[in-house]
């Protein structure tokens, strides 16, 4: 028993102001890693986007400044500057120092808003070393500065230096916020140029006609990338075209439908390609709903009902034929669905799944009416025939896949044939502790089987390079022996039959050599998981194992190095008389070396695979793994380092 200590009212700690945010930042921004750092930008950008979504703003500027600070500026109405009737301080100070304070809790000032909890601006302030707000409103310009200070040995964030002050005249209205993230809070304060660029481009697509400017004034940024402007008059139609740039489309112009039902605004752009997978990107008040929700159900219902009716009407389906199912019309579909509504109800804390039941009816009604009107024109007959022909082919493939799955299930039930001589399973029964290593080749597989901890680590060697599923139908995927083996080992099904509850291994770790073939195998496996077991990735079960590239050693000293950038530092630590061994493959490592560097949970490095941006992930997979050679060449030309020279020379210890 612990020693008894007094526990009285005096022991109850009350965190005042923004202290709670600094004490538990993860509660407000998710993490203090790179994702949380960028979340600060999105909080301020979301405020500007809400102004744009409600018709008050048409230009937003995001700047990364040379001193490490960030500026977000808009030409909206400007934050109110008058004195709050209850708190007796300016509205600007309220917004930046009080949690759960803002103008979005009712629908009077913002009919549609992504920021619902009133914590965004104040959280940014709390986690910054300093923050300056400039407001232009009513012909006047105002400014207020906040800083993190230390008082009586305690650190307090977001403290006002002085009240809001009028500093001049203003011709236009708007808000400009500049802040410097606190490096004592975040693991890194280095912003990623590409991450911000892609997010701002997506927001520009979703907000038709709004100009979003990204300025990066940091060192080592190419001149062509210092200022990038996004503005799309076509909105989500341009978004669909952008997503399909590397694909073969069945019709040139995406179908666009918009309307309003019961106060819910709906817009969708759809276009079919010759691919075998579908991609629906949905948003509610500019928030990406990566897990779907009731609005996506409404879209699916509308497509299924209207296209089946049109198939009957045109004779594509005869009286004796069964209706097509929703997946038949979704094959090859790229769709962007946006919904703007009040009183949004998201399922869970991550705002990734819409729960409002009224959204289904609104989306289904608007899109059904729009599709009927669109295809009532004689000019759209060819497009309809292409969509119905695509659905017919999908239905045939679906039936073939059903038979292939049934055969696979029967074989697995009888003798587990795909796993014979391949999977070295683990003995542990706790799925949450179990790990499956998918290893390249029998040589590496043999070493991994010997090196692993048999209680919780299983090993599945691949005997050959699997199919590139991006170019194959699901029935062809199911006929591939390597993929059948993976499906059987995981025990969670595939495609619409995938069920995470049946997963046998909590961690699925891809362990491939650090060379071109290994990288290709990783890409193929990740594409397979993304296309047919996406929940495996979104729920955080897929990892990349990181075997070392080098061993630097002398006498009784050895250090493993996992990247070229770390090599010089490791050599310096080992000191004179060092030797270097470079590992070309896992098979070159001994059992002990593989355990010490790659399999041992206490020492290894794993990269968890995640999808931060579904639209960007989709486009990247299409470019890298699809049929468009020109798009792949362009990407490689733009991103590859053709000037890199391999200067490695093996040395022996003592030389």
Chain centroid offset of residue 160 CA: 36
pTM for the structure as a whole: 0.76
Gap between the Cα atoms of 173 and 137, Å rounded: 5
Question: Which domain CATH number covers 368?
Answer: 3.30.230.10
The per-residue pLDDT for 642 is 59
Gap between the Cα atoms of 559 and 555, Å rounded: 12
Q: 147 and 173: one domain?
A: yes
Q: 44 and 111: one domain?
A: yes
Last residue of a domain, one of 396, 423, 439: 396
Last residue of a domain, one of 230, 264, 285: 230
Gap between the Cα atoms of 263 and 342, Å rounded: 8
Tokens 């991006």 -> residue = 470
Q: 185 and 265: one domain?
A: no
In the numeric block, which tokens belong to residue 152?
């009586």
Among residues 399, 515, 592, 612, the one annotated as catalytic is 515
Q: 309 and 369: one domain?
A: yes
- C-alpha dihedral sign at 615, 620, 623, 626: negative
Q: 159 and 130: one domain?
A: yes
Question: Which domain CATH number covers 134?
Answer: 3.30.565.10
Q: Angle of helix 629-639 relative to helix 614-625, nearest 10 degrees?
A: 110
DSSP, collapsed to helix, strand or coil, labels residue 549 as coil
Residue 386 in any domain: the answer is yes
Q: 304 and 324: one domain?
A: yes
The per-residue pLDDT for 310 is 94
Among residues 321, 517, 539, 612, the one annotated as catalytic is 517
CA-to-CA dists, residue 511 to 20, 418, 438, 516, 586, angstroms: 41, 20, 6, 14, 9
In the numeric block, which tokens belong to residue 259?
């309307």
Q: 214 and 240: one domain?
A: no
Q: 215 and 274: one domain?
A: no
How many CB atoms are closer than 10 A to CB 122? 26
Last residue of a domain, one of 396, 418, 450: 396
Q: 126 and 240: one domain?
A: no
Instruction: Spell out, as residue ranges, where the chain has pLDDT lower than 70.
Output: 1-17, 100-119, 348-351, 404-421, 613, 635, 638-655
DSSP string, 419-483: GTTT-B--S---TTT-EEEEEESHHHHHHHHHHS-TTTEEEEEESSPPP-GGGS-HHHHHH-HHH
The per-residue pLDDT for 558 is 86
CA-to-CA dists, residue 415 to 137, 419, 462, angstroms: 75, 9, 20
> Is 513 a residue of the active site?
yes
> Is 440 a residue of the active site?
yes
Largest CA distance in the chain: 85
Residue 356 in any domain: the answer is yes
Residue 491 in any domain: the answer is no
Q: What value does the CA radius of gyration of the chain take, rounded to a whole number of Å?
A: 28
Rounded to the nearest integer, the mean pLDDT of the chain is 85
Q: 223 and 242: one domain?
A: no
Among residues 74, 328, 440, 482, the one annotated as catalytic is 440
- Say how many domains are in the chain: 2
The per-residue pLDDT for 7 is 40
Check if the beta carbon of residue 113 is closer than 8 Å to that of residue 137: no
Residue 534 in any domain: the answer is no
CB-based burial label for 309 (10 Å; 0-12, 13-18, 19+): middle
The helix (H) or strand (E) run that includes residue 572 is helix 564-574
The per-residue pLDDT for 116 is 43
Residue 615 in any domain: the answer is no
Residue 77 in any domain: the answer is yes
> Is 592 a residue of the active site?
no
The per-residue pLDDT for 640 is 63
Residue 522 in any domain: the answer is no
In the numeric block, which tokens belong to residue 450?
């010997």
Q: 216 and 262: one domain?
A: no
The per-residue pLDDT for 655 is 43
Structural domain boundaries enclosing 321:
236-396
> Is 517 a residue of the active site?
yes
Gap between the Cα atoms of 557 and 572, Å rounded: 12
CB within 8 A of 588, min separation 6: which ones?
A: none
Residue 292 in any domain: the answer is yes
**DSSP assignment letter at 172:** S
Q: 72 and 153: one domain?
A: yes
What are the start-end ranges of the H helices in 99-152? 120-126
Chain centroid offset of residue 336 CA: 16
SS (H, E, C) 312-351: HHHCCCCCCCCCCCHHHHHCCEEEEEEEECCCCCECCCCC
């Amino acid at each position: 028993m612990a020693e008894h200590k007094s526990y009285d009212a005096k022991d109850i700690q009350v965190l005042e102001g923004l202290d709670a945010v600094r004490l538990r930042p993860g509660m407000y921004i998710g993490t203090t890693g790179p994702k949380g750092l960028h979340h600060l930008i999105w909080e301020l950008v979301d405020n500007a986007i809400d102004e744009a979504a409600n018709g008050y703003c048409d230009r937003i500027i995001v700047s990364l400044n040379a001193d490490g600070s960030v500026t977000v500026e808009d030409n909206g109405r400007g934050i109110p500057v008058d004195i709050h009737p209850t708190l007796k301080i300016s509205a600007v100070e309220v917004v930046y120092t009080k949690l759960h304070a803002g103008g979005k809790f009712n629908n009077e000032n913002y009919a549609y808003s992504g920021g619902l909890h009133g914590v965004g601006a104040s959280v940014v302030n709390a986690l910054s070393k300093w923050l300056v707000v400039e407001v232009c409103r009513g012909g006047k310009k105002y400014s207020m500065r906040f800083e993190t200070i230390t008082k009586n040995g305690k650190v307090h964030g977001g403290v006002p230096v002085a009240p809001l002050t009028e500093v001049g005249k203003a011709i236009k209205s708007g808000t400009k916020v500049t802040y410097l993230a606190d490096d004592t809070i975040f693991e890194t304060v280095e912003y990623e140029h590409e991450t911000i660029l892609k997010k701002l481009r997506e927001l520009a697509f979703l907000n038709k006609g709004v100009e979003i400017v990204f300025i990066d004034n940091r060192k080592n940024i190419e001149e062509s990338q210092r200022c990038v402007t996004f503005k799309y008059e076509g909105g989500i139609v341009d978004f669909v075209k952008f997503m399909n740039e590397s694909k073969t489309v069945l019709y040139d112009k995406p179908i666009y439908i918009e309307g309003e039902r019961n106060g819910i605004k709906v817009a969708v752009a759809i276009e079919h390609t010759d691919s075998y997978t579908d991609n629906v990107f949905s948003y509610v008040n500019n928030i990406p709903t990566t897990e779907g929700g009731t609005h996506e159900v409404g879209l699916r219902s509308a497509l299924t009902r209207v296209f089946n009716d049109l198939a009957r009407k045109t004779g594509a389906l005869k009286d004796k034929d069964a209706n097509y199912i929703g997946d038949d019309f979704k094959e090859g579909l790229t769709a962007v669905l946006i919904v703007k509504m009040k009183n949004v109800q998201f399922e869970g804390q991550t705002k990734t799944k819409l729960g409002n039941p009224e959204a289904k009816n609104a989306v289904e009604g608007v899109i059904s009416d729009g599709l009927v009107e669109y295809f009532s024109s004689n000019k759209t007959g060819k497009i309809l025939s292409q969509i119905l022909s695509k659905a017919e082919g999908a239905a045939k493939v679906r039936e073939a896949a059903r038979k292939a799955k049934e055969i696979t299930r029967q074989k697995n039930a009888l003798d587990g044939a795909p796993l014979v001589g391949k999977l070295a399973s683990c003995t542990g029964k706790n799925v949450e502790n179990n790990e499956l290593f998918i290893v390249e080749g029998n040589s590496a597989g043999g070493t991994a089987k010997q090196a692993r901890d048999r209680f919780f680590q299983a090993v599945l060697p691949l005997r050959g390079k699997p199919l590139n599923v991006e170019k194959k139908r699901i029935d062809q995927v199911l006929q591939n022996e390597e993929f059948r083996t993976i499906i059987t080992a995981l025990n969670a099904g595939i495609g619409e039959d995938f069920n995470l509850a049946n997963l046998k291994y909590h961690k699925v770790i891809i362990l491939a050599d650090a060379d071109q073939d290994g990288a290709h195998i990783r890409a193929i496996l990740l594409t397979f998981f993304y296309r047919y077991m996406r929940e495996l990735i979104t729920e955080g079960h897929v990892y990349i194992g990181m075997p070392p590239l080098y061993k630097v050693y002398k006498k009784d000293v050895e250090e493993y190095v996992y990247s070229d950038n770390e090599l010089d530092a490791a050599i310096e630590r080992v000191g004179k008389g060092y030797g270097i061994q470079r590992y070309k493959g896992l098979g070159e490592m001994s059992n002990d070396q593989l355990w010490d560097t790659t399999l041992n949970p206490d020492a290894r490095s794993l990269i968890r695979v995640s999808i931060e941006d579904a639209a960007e992930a989709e486009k990247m997979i299409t470019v890298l793994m699809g049929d468009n050679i020109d798009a792949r060449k362009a990407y490689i030309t733009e991103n590859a380092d053709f000037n890199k020279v391999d200067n490695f020379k093996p040395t022996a210890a003592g030389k």
